[in-house]
């Protein structure tokens, strides 16, 4: 009855938990397990993150340093030494799953993790994947991986795993929403699955300790598809309002007024808002995992592709509006001083992942604009895979606002003084519907 | 101060109200005004409806005869005599706005109504359109119509109208949801607009008497677009899950399990469910009003067209699943006895408008199936513009269920005995996710 031993350990908080990948998903999860008195070890290949955590510092704005120090006081250690995997009972993988340049799934972080932990896996461990991925990943990649582990590949003697008997595998998609003040890791219901009944039982026993509600589904691929559906839903609904924004604009209708009015319908309608493009790690990326997988079975995901096409075109649409606005006062984009407000992909967070602001700035610079930006969350712009800027955030004041030929509101942080901007700005291109209608405001 | 006279009349319940079009929208509205002690006259070109109402009978299942008799007791009269328009203060148009055969707006009922009332319009009346239509209809059709009325066209002397001065025009989209038990005409917030400020003021004064909340918007076209957006949102979200249903099916994933799991996310996701196609008067039709109008300004509405394409294909997808299921037991569609459960376009209503069940039955008959149906709301099938069947509803029993080669659940009325159907049916094609997974159940 190996399963009962592990289950008791989990339920009695005697289990040691390893969290691999200490980013937006793994770090809050580590904190949550630590809060419930589990012995938690955090793994990351980024030595800088390991170092910061071990001196009690947070590198994510919405995660408090207090939570890190409390976790450290409770025994948490971060490490990049994967041999310590041999010392834990539960391993949770929270590594990124980005897209390759051809919009294909990039599972290199998952594969890298599996290679790193392979020599140190041992009997009676529970391994759970939390990374968002296409339906079938757990069954098609992780199951064969576990089944392939033989004695010669392990640094621990006599290892041969039988899933559900002496090794357990689950999939539970992360549902983190950075900056959401209404829901936390604890209060967001968690979808769980296992490759066998025993695997599900243990996965459920584990998450039942740290979240208020677990939702069991019948297989890992159902859990994988669940997370993808959640993000497809958002990507398509945002694509839809972005398309309708352009139609409404041509009809001289303010789409924000329309959405606000429609949102008074108490059933059958949920408001989504347009913007300068999609950002964040989930919405622009995850849907294409399904698109890629669907091709394998000869199916198309046309809504996803249409949403991708329209959302990707948004920064260009904004630039077109910028060009028209400047033209109306006899100026070209080239040589104009353009101030971009907000770099983060959504308001009030310090998260730059896939932010359309960067794309916007790249296009404007390419067209010869003199681009400046202001974002209280980014004093400078960290280098990303696609973009590199040598700019510093500018603090807004009357003179600065007056000196810009055009101001683009890209991300509507609450910190901005909208009254001042509307008063002092010469021309404003508003991609968030935040400014009052006036002659100098162009909605885009 | 003509406006103040009319406003007082409205607020004091002294205004006489005409409702034109006594269907799913106009009839509940007439009842609602009557409940607030207005003198209400109902107009319809359908003499049968006029006759039934005048003997206190309802022809819509979810509208109680009690409400009709109470309204009659309160002075309500139905008529097809439009000369009586000269006797009222307020005229509300609730006529259908269907699509033509090329998916173009068919405003013939609105035009017909305007011609009918034209000779009897008089100063100091308020005219409100409630029919769903494309943005611009009120300004482009009703405003010129009112402005065109001169003395010689009116049977009343010296008529010449100036909008907002001696005649008032508003647009307020209906939001009726037949069968919705949580919301009524009174409790659903009502979007209102007027072509001038006075027009809006009177329209607001009017609806404030009969609904809990009015929502003023800046122009009729914003109000028109609001209603269209609400229905585009539904059409696209249903199209999306219908597409994902087909992808999931190929991956051997139950889309209903996925949607149920995703719906546990407390933010950022709203569940929509797949089905055998779109039905009802709004969702399959209204979005194309925007598509048509958008073409005028060189714009495309690609989400709407994609949703239309996928939703329209659904009955054919169901038939394909029927063919595969029958084939698996060595039978062809031709000659097989197929029982269709549910004719209405949604459950628990007696509404057949645009129901995909009819399309489904047509395709099956065309392929040579022996089709029967059961629907507690339709003993026979009323002739529609597109379909004509000589069939009678069959009462379900063990023998009947056993005798069918295949049963299609098209509309999941609560009245059906699902346990019995699952027990006795040989093969079930389930388009609503209502049956438990088993070998004889095929999800479609």
ipTM here: 0.94
DSSP label at A90?
Answer: E
Q: Residue B428's domain is classified under what CATH number?
A: 3.40.50.720
Which one-letter DSSP state was computed for residue B139?
Answer: I
Specify whether B188 is located in the same domain as B328: no
The sign of the dihedral angle between the CA atoms of A86, A88, A90, A92 is negative
Q: Summarize pLDDT for B161-195 with one digit per residue, the tens.
A: 999 999 999 999 999 988 788 999 999 999 999 99
Per-residue pLDDT tens listing for chain A (444 residues): 678 899 999 999 999 999 999 999 999 999 999 999 999 999 999 999 999 999 999 998 889 999 999 999 999 999 999 999 999 999 999 999 999 888 899 999 999 999 999 999 999 999 999 999 999 999 999 999 999 987 666 666 667 899 999 999 999 999 998 878 899 999 999 999 999 999 999 999 999 999 999 999 999 999 999 999 999 999 999 999 999 999 999 999 999 999 999 999 999 999 999 999 987 777 888 999 999 999 999 999 999 999 999 999 999 999 999 999 999 999 999 999 999 999 999 899 888 888 999 999 999 999 999 999 999 999 999 887 777 888 999 999 999 999 999 999 999 999 999 999 999 999 999 999 999 989 999 999
Chain A residues in contact with B266 by the CB 8 A cut-off are 182-183, 187-189
Residue of B nearest to A259 (CA): B226
* A190 and A261 fall within a common domain: no
Residues A259 and A176 reside in one and the same domain: no
Whole-model pTM: value is 0.94
Look at residue B223 and tell me if it is in a domain.
Answer: no
Same domain, A139 and A270: no
CA angle (B255 as vertex; B250, B259 as ends), nearest 5: 155
* CB-CB contact of B272 with B234 (8 Å): yes
Establish if A227 belongs to a structural domain: no
Determine whether the interchain pair A191/B261 forms a contact, defined as Cβ–Cβ distance below 8 Å: yes
Cα(B365)–Cα(B326) distance, rounded to whole angstroms? 15
Establish if B225 belongs to a structural domain.
no
Asked if the Cβ–Cβ distance from B234 to A264 is below 8 Å, we say no
Examine the domain organization and report whether A20 and A126 are in the same domain.
Answer: yes
Contacts with A270 from chain B: Cβ below 8 Å: 233, 270
Whether residue A162 is found in the same domain as residue A251: no
B226 found inside a domain: no
- The residue from B188, B217, B246 where one domain ends is B217
Q: Is A213 on the interface with B (CB under 8 A)?
A: yes
Give the Å distances, CA to CA, from B126 to A30, A74, B131, B138.
Answer: 64, 72, 16, 14
How far is B250 from chain A, CA to nearest CA, in Å?
7
Whether residue A193 sits in one domain with residue A260: no
B180 and B58 share one domain: yes
The domain tally of chain A equals: 2
Decide if B139 is inside a domain.
yes
Instruction: Return the number of CB contacts < 8 Å for A and B.
Output: 180
Task: Tell me which chain B residues have a C-beta less than 8 angstroms from the C-beta of A312.
Answer: none
Same domain, A190 and A273: no
**Full residue range of the structural domain in which residue A108 is found:** 2-218
Whether residue B230 lies inside any domain: the answer is no
Are B183 and A270 a contacting pair at CB < 8 A? Answer: no
A225 domain-assigned:
no
Tell me, yes or no, whether A52 and A88 share the same domain: yes
Domain boundary, last residue among A189, A218, A247? A218
Q: Determine the 3-state secondary structure of B409 from DSSP.
A: strand
Q: Are residues A274 and A160 in the same domain?
A: no
CB within 8 Å of chain A, chain B residues 121-180 = 135-136, 175, 177, 180
Same domain, A275 and A211: no
A310 touches chain B (CB under 8 A): yes
List the single best residue of A251, A287, A433 to mutate versus B (max B Cβ within 10 A): A251
Is B279 within a domain?
yes
pLDDT tens-digit map of B417-427: 999 999 999 99
Q: At B171, phi and psi to the nearest 5? A: -130, 130
């Amino acid at each position: 009855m190996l399963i009962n031993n592990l289950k008791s350990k989990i339920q009695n908080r005697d289990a040691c938990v390893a969290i691999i990948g200490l980013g937006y998903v793994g770090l809050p999860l580590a904190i949550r397990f630590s809060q419930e008195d589990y012995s938690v070890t955090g793994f990351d290949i980024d030595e800088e993150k390991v170092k910061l955590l071990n001196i009690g510092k947070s590198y994510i704005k919405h995660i408090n340093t207090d939570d890190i120090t409390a976790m450290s006081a409770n025994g948490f250690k971060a490490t990049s030494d994967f041999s310590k995997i041999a010392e834990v009972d539960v391993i949770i993988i929270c590594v990124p799953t980005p897209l390759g340049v051809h919009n294909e799934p990039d599972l290199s972080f998952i594969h890298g993790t599996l290679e790193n932990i392979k020599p140190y896996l041992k009997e009676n461990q529970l391994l759970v994947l939390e990374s968002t991925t296409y339906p079938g990943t757990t069954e098609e990649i992780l199951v064969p991986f576990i089944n392939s582990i033989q004695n010669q590949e392990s640094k621990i003697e006599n290892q041969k795993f039988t899933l559900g008997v002496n090794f357990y595998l689950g999939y539970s998609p992360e549902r983190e929403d950075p900056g959401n003040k209404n829901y936390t890791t604890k209060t967001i219901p968690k979808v769980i699955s296992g490759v066998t009944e025993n695997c599900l039982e243990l996965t459920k026993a584990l998450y039942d300790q740290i979240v208020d509600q677990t939702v069991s589904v019948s297989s890992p691929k159902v859990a994988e598809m669940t997370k993808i559906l959640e993000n497809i839903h958002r990507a398509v609904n945002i694509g839809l309002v972005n398309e309708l924004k352009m139609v409404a604009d041509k009809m001289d209708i303010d789409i924000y007024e329309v959405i606000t009015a429609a949102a008074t319908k108490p059933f059958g309608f949920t408001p989504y808002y347009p913007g300068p493009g999609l950002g964040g790690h989930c919405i622009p990326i995850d849907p294409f995992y399904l698109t890629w997988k669907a091709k394998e079975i000869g199916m198309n995901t046309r809504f996803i592709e249409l949403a991708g096409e329209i959302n990707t075109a948004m920064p260009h649409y904004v630039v077109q509006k910028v060009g028209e606005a400047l033209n109306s006062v006899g100026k070209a984009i080239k040589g104009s001083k353009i101030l971009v407000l907000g770099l983060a992909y959504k308001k009030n967070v310090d998260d730059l992942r896939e932010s359309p602001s960067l794309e916007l700035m790249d296009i404007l610079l390419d067209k010869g604009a003199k681009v400046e930006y202001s974002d209280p969350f980014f004093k400078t712009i960290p280098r990303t895979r696609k973009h590199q800027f040598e700019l510093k955030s500018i603090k807004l004041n009357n003179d600065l606002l007056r000196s810009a030929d055009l101001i683009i509101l890209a991300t509507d942080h609450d910190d901005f003084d909208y009254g001042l901007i509307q008063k002092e700005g010469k021309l404003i291109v508003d991609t968030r519907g935040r400014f009052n209608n006036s002659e100098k405001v162009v909605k885009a």
